[in-house]
Structure 1
């Protein structure tokens, strides 16, 4: 279901697909590869709430796995919107 939501035209379903992965990622586990598959194409989104969700998940994941989040951001440096970068790096040594 989440795979379908991540591609849905409804911004709230796309956002929900990202946030559904937050809990386990926040705790230091979860499926970061799946998050990446969802978030990567969404970096081109113009919707504030989708961008905010990407940054939120990255920020919380980075509290436990900062190297992984930093690496993800660096690999997409030319595509990461400012809002996503600000949220994601709030607690990282960037």
Structure 2
């Protein structure tokens, strides 16, 4: 996921499997150096299957297993979401 410095956005999502924070973009059009790893801002739930985070000028990257069951973002126009390097529509 990526966002611009002017457009900060909060997000949350859940999966049927697990979520692991990563420091690489894995094919999304953002430099690996811009991928942030802020455990105080981007918090993976105790269940390991949900995350709440915030974007603003960088990107957040996660490795997930299973299916995404829920995805909410404060401002959809401020966020681009990629899975395996392909942009997805967050409304689906």
TM (norm. structure 1) is: 0.31
With CA pairs under 8 Å and 6+ residues apart, which has the higher RCO, 1 or 2?
2
TM (norm. structure 2) is: 0.32
